[in-house]
Amino acid sequence: MTTPARIAVLASGRGSNLQCLLDGIAAGRLDAQIVGVFSDKPGASALDKVPAESRWARSPKDFASREAFDEALGDAVAASAPDWVVCAGYMRILGAGFVQRFNGRLVNIHPSLLPLHKGLHTHARAIEAGDGEHGASVHFVIPELDAGAVLAQARVPVLPADTAESLAARVLAVEHPLLLASVQLLASGRVAEQDGRVLLDGQFLFNPLRLDSAGALQF
């Protein structure tokens, strides 16, 4: 039996994506352990989902600079000895120093079909743009915001009556199985990043993997 992959999670808010990973581990669907939850918001509900000894939260306001915060965060994450660092609703931009430190094992879930709608307010922007489809992406993190290689995506339709809120809820419902399946794939050791591209089983991916309606990634 191999040791479960060690996953560090960065989260700023309610932590429903983190909860999905925890539920997946409990159900035997994710062969991993959450070795720490790290936050820039000391009040984030995500922190309550893990034991106190697995939590790290500091306010950036208590640091002299972005770099100083990132260094403290990076030291805490490194101390948990993660195989993978997963940003799951982490809303603060990570500086280049942090990204370099965890290069190749740092991923994020972003609520859009990247490369569309990088940054914030993705649901409202998808509606404004008249997109017929919207969704979520799991991608490697590079210093440029939401621009790293995409491993996997889940798609939902945009409906005529959608508001940003109704669309966000539809996307969140697929984010959870997308993140679970993606982290399971990462934990299995089959995925790597090379030259800004995703390698799966040693082959470059030409398109992101797609989540099917059963919650499995299509290869």
- Residues binding ligand GRF: what is the number (CB under 6 A)? 14
d(CA 170, CA 165): 9
Question: Which residue lies nearer to ligand GRF by CB, 85 or 109?
Answer: 109
Q: Is 175 in the site for ligand GRF (CB under 6 A)?
A: yes
- Report which secondary-structure segment, H or E, holds 5: strand 5-10
Instruction: By CB under 6 A, name the one of 16, 33, 54, 166 that touches ligand GRF.
Output: 16
Instruction: By CB under 6 A, name the one of 17, 153, 182, 184 that touches ligand GRF.
Output: 17
Q: How far is the CB of 201 from ligand GRF (least distance, A)?
A: 27
**CA-angle at 35, arms to 25 and 83, nearest 5°:** 90
Question: Which residue lies nearer to ligand GRF by CB, 9 or 187?
Answer: 9
d(CA 218, CA 212): 7
d(CA 201, CA 188): 10
Site string for ligand GRF, 44-63 (x = CB under 6 A): --x-----------------
- Report which secondary-structure segment, H or E, holds 218: strand 217-218
- Residue 159 structure tokens: 């409906």
- Residue 186 structure tokens: 């990462």
Radius of gyration of the chain (CA): 17
d(CA 61, CA 108): 24
Place of tokens 């950036």: 60
Instruction: By CB under 6 A, name the one of 30, 32, 94, 109 that touches ligand GRF.
Output: 109
Q: Is 172 in the site for ligand GRF (CB under 6 A)?
A: yes
The yes-or-no answer on residue 134 being catalytic is no
Q: Is 111 in the site for ligand GRF (CB under 6 A)?
A: yes
Q: Is 148 in the site for ligand GRF (CB under 6 A)?
A: no
Q: Is 185 in the site for ligand GRF (CB under 6 A)?
A: no
The residues carrying an active-site annotation are: 110
Which residues are near ligand GRF by CB under 6 A? 11, 13-17, 46, 88-89, 109-111, 172, 175
